[in-house]
Amino acid sequence: MVCSNDQVPEKHVPKALEILLAAARKATPSPEQQEEQRRSFAYGNTAFENKLITREMVDRQAEAIERERNEQRGQ
């Protein structure tokens, strides 16, 4: 049976996994988790095309952007 990414045939999913998947769908990531995901996404997409990009470079740039945003807000 062919299913899209968000559909799994129920007869093939153990009950415990079904419960975990339902909980994951309802989970809301914290701001820290969202930032971690954003940086991971940025790293993955840039390092894919430029092998010289490092996670540290992405972190430094993200921190510079945050400082700039805070300065614009007057914080």
Residue ranges making up the domain that contains 55: 29-75
Q: Is 37 within a domain?
A: yes
Q: Is 10 within a domain?
A: no
Reported pTM: 0.65
Between 4 and 16, residue with greater pLDDT: 16
Number of domains within the chain: 1
Q: Is residue 10's pLDDT more than 70?
A: no
Q: Is 51 within a domain?
A: yes
Q: Is 69 within a domain?
A: yes
pLDDT at 13: 80
Q: Is 9 within a domain?
A: no
Q: What is the pLDDT of residues 42-66, one digit of tens each?
A: 999 999 999 999 999 999 999 999 9
Contacts (Cβ under 8 Å, ≥6 apart) of 43: 53, 55, 58
Q: Is 67 within a domain?
A: yes
Contacts of 67-73 spanning 24+ positions with Cβ under 8 A:
none
Q: Is 39 within a domain?
A: yes
Q: Is 44 within a domain?
A: yes
